[in-house]
């Protein structure tokens, strides 16, 4: 019986270690793919998703679009009011952009005050423009922070990929 008990105890310990290792792997993967400030996907994840889209577009001749939103006037706000205010501003901007975008759209923080957007189905150019305007409109209401309110605008550039001429992305 003692041998059987020890085997069961080792099996239980191995199961526990396996679950802990799996949780650690998930945490590392999340940390590697998530912007620690905003909780949005990060540049690494964005490029990975973009390259997947490019491969699909070439193989299946599917249209998609990629956009970059750059916050206008962010640097002076960050410089004048401090990085803690800039960070709070970025967190709120990320929340608003994510809330304004349909679920099928990927929004990621790709650097500083730049956010990348992947529009998975960009067959209709008018719909693409409308979605981009809707995302930018999320910046319109002034952002209320402890230090005061901040009016912020953004600029969005979009490029469409329409099949076999798409190339691997590097940002």
Active site residues: 113
Q: Which residues, 6+ apart, have CB-to-CB distance to 152 below 8 Å?
A: 71, 72, 73, 74, 77, 89, 93, 139, 142, 143
Handedness of CA 114, 116, 117, 123 (dihedral sign): positive
- Beta bridge partners of residue 115, listed in sequence order: 69, 109
Instruction: List all residues 6 or more positions away from 79 whose beta carbon is below 8 Å from its beta carbon.
Output: none
Under DSSP, is residue 127 helix (H, G, I), strand (E, B) or coil? helix
Neighbours of 83 (CB within 10 A): 10
């Amino acid at each position: 019986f003692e041998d059987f008990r020890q085997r069961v105890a080792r099996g239980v310990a191995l199961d526990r270690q396996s679950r802990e290792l799996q949780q650690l792997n998930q945490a590392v993967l999340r940390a590697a793919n998530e912007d620690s400030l905003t909780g949005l996907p990060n540049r690494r994840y964005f490029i990975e998703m973009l390259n997947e889209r490019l491969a699909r577009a070439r193989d299946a001749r599917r249209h998609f679009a990629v956009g970059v939103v750059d916050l206008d006037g962010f640097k002076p706000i960050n410089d004048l009011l401090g990085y803690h205010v800039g960070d709070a501003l970025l967190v709120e901007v990320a929340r608003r952009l994510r809330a304004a975008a349909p679920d099928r759209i990927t929004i990621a923080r790709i650097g500083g005050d730049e956010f990348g957007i992947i529009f998975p189905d960009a067959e209709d150019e008018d719909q693409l423009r409308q979605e981009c305007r809707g995302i930018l409109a999320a910046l319109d209401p002034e952002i209320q922070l402890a230090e005061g309110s901040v009016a912020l605008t953004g600029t969005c550039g979009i490029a469409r990929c329409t099949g076999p001429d798409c190339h691997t992305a590097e940002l």
